[in-house]
Amino acid sequence: MAKFGDKKSGAVASGSVTGVTFGRDISGREAPCIGIYGGQGSGKTRLCVTAGEWAEQQGTTPGWLVCDRKTRNTMKEVCKEFGYQPPVHNQGDFVDRRDALKLAVSEDLAFVMKAYSDAYQRFLAGAMMLLDDPGINPIIVDSGSQLWDWIAFAHFGRKQDVGRARMWGPPKQDWTDLFDALAEKTTLVTLKNKDEWKKDERTGRDTWDGPPHLGFTTTTVVGLKLSNKKPKVDEGETFVDRFTLDVIESQDRKDLEGQDAVLSGGAITFSMLMALLRPED
């Protein structure tokens, strides 16, 4: 077999040069990283809370990185509904509450950038603590839209012209580095939805509010919807029956990409989603 330094073969077979190892082992598999987006009240946090059942089967505990304060209230209500123990989560906010009002009105660009940079550093420290704890799995980020804003504000400040005129390479790389680091554990990240635009026109569809390269850092992206078309619940129907889950893109199940209502109602749980995406796991 050709070895490093064998100029005649021109091939790299196996070995290590300057700390980079090559080989043919493809037995390992990246843990699932699932992006979950939808409108307010569409069941994003609820779906993540149901990961408690999956974690119990694995002998682990979910670890949450809470970026939105209202997450904790939803978490409390859903845990009570299903009889789950509250998951491990950050007890304080990543953005210092003493800075919150100052940030809302401050025109001091340096102060704003430092405040959000500090918040992101606290978030990273929390993420690494969950990653290093063998009893924690999955890791849940709620919400990724808020996290993406913090990363952007840390680079650019909190300005209205954060858009096309900005160089988005550094924030995108921060996001990529984070989810590369979390790749050994199952990860869920929620995102808000927004109108999709193409060439300055609405497409009539919605998409996630967050990093444009989300699909490059996740294994699956799903969308949650809540139908409010009917004014009241029909006989035999519950409010939960109005929720649906669409598969937007998936490395694990390419055959499901673009399919609507793959799961609906009470079947929208993390255990059911994992059974759908990776039935062999």
- Same domain, yes or no: 206 and 99: yes
pLDDT of residue 238: 59
Q: Is residue 244 part of a domain?
A: yes
Percent of the chain with pLDDT over 90: 59
- Same domain, yes or no: 71 and 189: yes
Distance from C-alpha of 116 to C-alpha of 121, rounded to nearest angstrom:
9
- The residue ranking higher by pLDDT, 227 or 94, is 94
Q: Is the pLDDT of residue 235 over 80?
A: no
**In this structure, how many other beta carbons lie within 10 angstroms of the beta carbon of residue 33?**
23
pLDDT tens profile 251-261: 999 999 999 99
Percent of the chain with pLDDT over 70: 85
> Would you place residue 229 in the very low, low, confident or very high pLDDT band (cuts 50, 70, 90)?
low
- Same domain, yes or no: 271 and 170: no
Q: Is residue 92 part of a domain?
A: yes
pLDDT tens profile 14-72: 555 577 888 887 776 689 999 999 998 889 999 999 999 999 999 999 999 999 988 99
Number of domains in the chain: 2
- Same domain, yes or no: 168 and 109: yes
**In this structure, how many other beta carbons lie within 10 angstroms of the beta carbon of residue 74?**
18
Q: Is residue 141 part of a domain?
A: yes
Domain interval for residue 70 = 55-212
Average pLDDT, the chain: 86
Q: Is residue 19 part of a domain?
A: no
pLDDT of residue 232: 54
- Same domain, yes or no: 259 and 188: no
Listed in sequence order, the DSSP H helices in the chain are 44-49, 51-58, 70-82, 97-105, 109-132, 144-156, 169-181, 214-217, 270-277
- Cα-based torsion angle of the residue sequence 246, 252, 257, 260 in order, rounded to the nearest 10 degrees: -20
- Same domain, yes or no: 236 and 190: no
- Same domain, yes or no: 159 and 227: no
Distance from C-alpha of 170 to C-alpha of 3, rounded to nearest angstrom:
38
Give the position of tokens 């001091």.
108
- The residue ranking higher by pLDDT, 186 or 109, is 186
Distance from C-alpha of 38 to C-alpha of 191, rounded to nearest angstrom:
7
pLDDT tens profile 122-144: 999 999 999 999 999 999 999 99
- The residue ranking higher by pLDDT, 126 or 238, is 126
- Same domain, yes or no: 72 and 198: yes
pLDDT of residue 1: 47
Inter-axis angle of helices 169-181 and 109-132, nearest 10: 20
Q: Is the pLDDT of residue 3 over 70?
A: no
For strands 243-250 and 136-142, give the pairing. Answer: unpaired
Report the predicted TM-score, pTM, of the whole model to 2 decimal places: 0.85
Q: Is residue 27 part of a domain?
A: no
Boundary of a domain, candidates 177, 197, 212: 212
Assess whether the previous peptide bond of 138 is cis (omega < 30° from 0).
yes
Q: What mean pLDDT is predicted for residues 204-220?
A: 90
pLDDT of residue 230: 52
Boundary of a domain, candidates 164, 191, 212: 212
> Would you place residue 197 in the very low, low, confident or very high pLDDT band (cuts 50, 70, 90)?
confident
Give the position of tokens 């924690």.
136
> Would you place residue 2 in the very low, low, confident or very high pLDDT band (cuts 50, 70, 90)?
very low
> What string of DSSP letters covers 211-244?
-TTHHHH-SEEEEEEE---SSSPPTT--GGGGEE
> Would you place residue 228 in the very low, low, confident or very high pLDDT band (cuts 50, 70, 90)?
low
- Same domain, yes or no: 70 and 200: yes
- Same domain, yes or no: 69 and 199: yes
- Same domain, yes or no: 82 and 117: yes
- Same domain, yes or no: 132 and 204: yes
Boundary of a domain, candidates 175, 191, 212: 212
Distance from C-alpha of 222 to C-alpha of 252, rounded to nearest angstrom:
12
